[in-house]
Structure 1
Amino acid sequence: MPSRSDVITPALLRDWALPVPTGGKEARGTVLVVGGSRFTPGAVLLAGVAALRAGAGVLQLAAAESTAAALSIQVPEALVVGLPENRDGAVRGDPGDLLGGLVADADVVAVGPGLNDIDTTTELLRLVLDAAGPETALVLDAYALGALSHEPDLLVGSGRRVVLTPNLTEARHLLDRDPGDDLDAEAIELAGRYDAVVSLYGHIATPDGRAWREESGDAGLGTSGSGDVRAGLLAGLLSRGADPAQAACWAAFAHAVSGQRLVPRYGRIGFLARELLDEIPYTLATV
């Protein structure tokens, strides 16, 4: 029997309104994106800008040192920190005290966009978990999910506010088998196994078995960089005060509807992940 989940609709979201912080940028929190490599700095850019578009107050990017100057020009709103690289251009897992300090001071840390080496990512993930405070929210994406699959008990019982954002390939690693057709059930299993909220292709689940699904996503979202946008969107919503399940549901909806808004200009496929970014604020504001 298929698993039961609630459809994410504008009416459901209006009844689950996002926090609207008052005051300066500090009231909307600090997002730190840890990721990138010499060859994939764009993933960090997409995630970071998405976090700002979702309402984060302060953005910090930690990426491969060879890309830091270019990122700081492309995202002038962000503090950009270069992390040491290995010979292959991957961020090393021994970046010193600077990254630990940034993690400790952040409200939300998104780990994974653009990382490309499982061993160094595992070391980075351990550093982040050691440095993060108990109230720090985490978004784990891409290679960070591969690292987590090697240490499945890493989050269990920690009480941390964590959202996992696997695609089907990453879900296969986390499940240690191919996902079935019932993605509601797979998301629920992953949430229980890893003690975290899971957002799997618009199927959201919590460790206690609550589940939602977003049904308006279309084929155009299956484009390079789209997952980085979704991870950053989630981080930005967490930063402004949403709880993990709420942030995951709102992010899934905003990601899908932002894509819908591009269809009249570009068709169902062919729009770019970076073009989703400018649609996010209006999509959130008009729910």
Structure 2
Amino acid sequence: MTNRFEERVITLKVLREWPLPDPQGSKEARGTVLVVGGSKFTPGAVLLAGEAALRAGAGRLQLAVAEETAVQLSIAVPEAKVVGLSQGDQLRKLAEGADVVALGPGLDDIEETTALMRDVLGAAGPDTGVVLDAYALGALSKDAGLLRQRRTVLTPNVVEAQHLLGRDPGDDLAAASAELAERHNAVVSLYGHIATPDGRAWVEESGDAGLGTSGSGDARAGIVAGLLARGAEPAQAACWGAYAHAVSGQRLALRHGRTGFLARELVDEVAHTIATV
């Protein structure tokens, strides 16, 4: 498939002409994000995504992780309510009340992920914002019917895009992003290439090699979830999220070199990057 759409480069001018909703009122007005993921070996992925959502402007944060790490994570992220993945009734109740569900960071079992998606997305409303990342995209590649929500952003890397497409996406990531957006009726953000089901497309060109670090994708998914929670539409959240992710890396590169910074340091830059647009 060749790219049918002309991509618009994401610049400061583009973002300033497309301002994020102005935060008003209480924390409830900026939305609740529920991050679901984190096996007992990778709870940090949920921490990164959750803190990134708060840095991007979400008002409230809830985390669902493997039972073995729930207490430790509640101490590490005192801003969040934390539950275990095995607490089915409680998790479904959180999904029902969440404005945005980010699902996938840190999961490592495809069958468990599929069951979680069926349970959590089944409990969430049709207008709940959804961000799917990591193993959630692998589950989606096997059963497209798991996704029921309209306000959805998929954030695959190249390997995950390959699973979703059923083939190597090749060098034309713009075309791959557009194809996936149309196939899943969702906004897709693939390595800076953002596409919508109705044919709009953008590209963020300032990302550099340092973003290819452990946990970086979790941070990006969290940024998008936080922007959705504060009221951005999915395409807007994906574009602003790609910019905030890339430019936060640029800021860190000045201090640590192109490949010396960490994903948790990216998270700490996000609020300042967004505020200075």
Task: State the TM-score, normalized to the length of structure 2.
Answer: 0.97
Letter in 1 for 2:18: W
1:147, CA displacement in angstroms? 0.3
User: Is residue 137 of structure 1 aligned with residue 139 of structure 2?
Assistant: no
Partner of 2:236: 246
Letter in 2 for 1:4: E
Partner of 1:222: 212
Which of 228, 231, 237 does residue 221 from structure 2 map onto?
231
SS in 2 for 1:198: strand
Unaligned regions of 5+ residues in structure 2, if any?
none
1:113, CA displacement in angstroms? 0.2
Partner of 2:31: 29
Partner of 1:56: 58
Partner of 1:89: none
Partner of 1:113: 105
Which of 130, 144, 149 does residue 141 from structure 2 map onto?
149
Q: Report if the CA contact (8 A) 2:129-2:149 is conserved.
A: no
SS in 1 for 2:144: coil
Q: Report if the CA contact (8 A) 1:153-1:194 is conserved.
A: no
Which of 116, 127, 135 does residue 119 from structure 2 map onto?
127
Matches within 5 A, 1:75-94: 75-84=77-86
Inter-partner Cα distance in structure 1 for 2:274 and 2:72: 30
1:270, CA displacement in angstroms? 1.4
Letter in 1 for 2:192: G
Partner of 2:177: 187
Partner of 1:286: 276
Inter-partner Cα distance in structure 2 for 1:124 and 1:220: 32
Letter in 1 for 2:140: L
Inter-partner Cα distance in structure 2 for 1:159 and 1:66: 30
Inter-partner Cα distance in structure 2 for 1:102 and 1:62: 9
Q: Report if the CA contact (8 A) 1:4-1:184 is conserved.
A: no
Inter-partner Cα distance in structure 2 for 1:186 and 1:82: 35
Partner of 1:47: 49
User: Is residue 208 of structure 1 aligned with residue 198 of structure 2?
Assistant: yes
Misfit runs of 4+, over 2 Å: 152-155
Partner of 2:68: 66
1:163, CA displacement in angstroms? 0.4
Letter in 1 for 2:172: D
How many residues align? The count is 275
Partner of 1:164: 154
SS in 1 for 2:168: coil
The RMSD of aligned alpha carbons is 1.1
Inter-partner Cα distance in structure 2 for 1:236 and 1:153: 25
1:150, CA displacement in angstroms? 0.3
1:154, CA displacement in angstroms? 3.8
Task: State the TM-score, normalized to the length of structure 1.
Answer: 0.94
Inter-partner Cα distance in structure 2 for 1:27 and 1:129: 22
* Cα distance per residue 1:69-122 (max 9 Å; x no partner): 1101110000011223xxxxxxxxxx4211100000000000000000000100
